[in-house]
Amino acid sequence: MNIAEILSVSVNEDNLAWKEGATMPVEYVAALSAASEIGSDLLRVRALDKQAYRRVVLLLANKAEKQGMKKRLFLSPAMAQILAVCAIHEITQPQCLVCRGAKVMVTEKLKVVCHSCGGIGLHRYSDKDRARMCGVSAESWPQWERRYHMVMQILVSNDTAARLSRIKLGKHLYSSVDIG
Ligand SMILES: [Zn+2]
């Protein structure tokens, strides 16, 4: 479903009640109305909009380069884009890699709590994961780490959908993002 379809369903949707695991139409409407440029593109990326994806990568990379200049954390345009791609991946795909967010594994008659995430349904991205995503060796990661967190911080502060869901659910949806 693309963002236009989601929105047309959203404004016609009678049942705005919470359904587990689904982003409710009302959230798209609410989030888009209050979102920044990066924030609204992030919503579209979650709805698999390729144009929005390219746009948000460039916007985020650009912002990161500028902020890096101020903080003396210099980023080449290429580095900024790699970090943007990886941070967007992390924030838009928080699900556990084993259960895909289901929290439990259902076999024939058995329902078992996912061993990988312990029933949380989220993947906790490690430095190793992040280095691998960025195509950097584990040894060189420390040189990238502060820059990655800077990019993630820009992204999180623009992520209206996450903020709204957090308020609504009282949960830390992106608890894997530890920004020091
Ligand atoms: Zn899991």
Of 174, 122, 178, 169, nearest to 23 by C-alpha is 169
Span from the CA of 90 to the centroid of ligand 1 (angstroms) = 16
Question: If you measure from the C-alpha of residue 16 to the centroid of ligand 1, how many angstroms do you get, rounded to a whole number?
Answer: 27
Tell me the torsion sign for CA atoms 117, 120, 126, 128: positive
pLDDT of residue 140: 94
Give 91: exposed, middle or buried? Use CB within 10 Å, 0-12, 13-18, 19+. Answer: buried
- Residue 106 dihedral angles phi and psi, to the nearest 5°: -105, 115
Task: Tell me, yes or no, if the pTM score tops 0.75.
Answer: no
Q: Distance (Å, rounded) from C-alpha 57 to C-alpha 36?
A: 14
What is the whole-number distance in angstroms between the Cα of residue 165 and the centre of ligand 1?
Answer: 20
Q: pLDDT digit of tens for each residue in the chain (180 aa)?
A: 555 565 555 444 444 444 445 555 656 666 676 778 888 888 888 878 888 899 999 999 999 999 999 999 999 999 999 999 999 999 988 899 899 899 998 888 888 999 999 999 999 999 999 999 999 999 999 999 999 999 999 998 888 766 666 666 555 444 444 333
Distance 51 CA to ligand 1 centre (A): 30
The dihedral formed by the CA atoms of 2, 7, 162 and 135, expressed in degrees to the nearest 10? 10
Q: How far is the CA of 11 from the centre of ligand 1 (A)?
A: 33
- According to DSSP, the residues that pair with 112 across neighbouring strands are 105
Q: Are the C-beta atoms of 123 and 134 separated by less than 8 Å?
A: no
Side chain identity at residue 53, one-letter code: Y
**How remote is the CA of residue 10 from the centroid of ligand 1, in Å?**
29
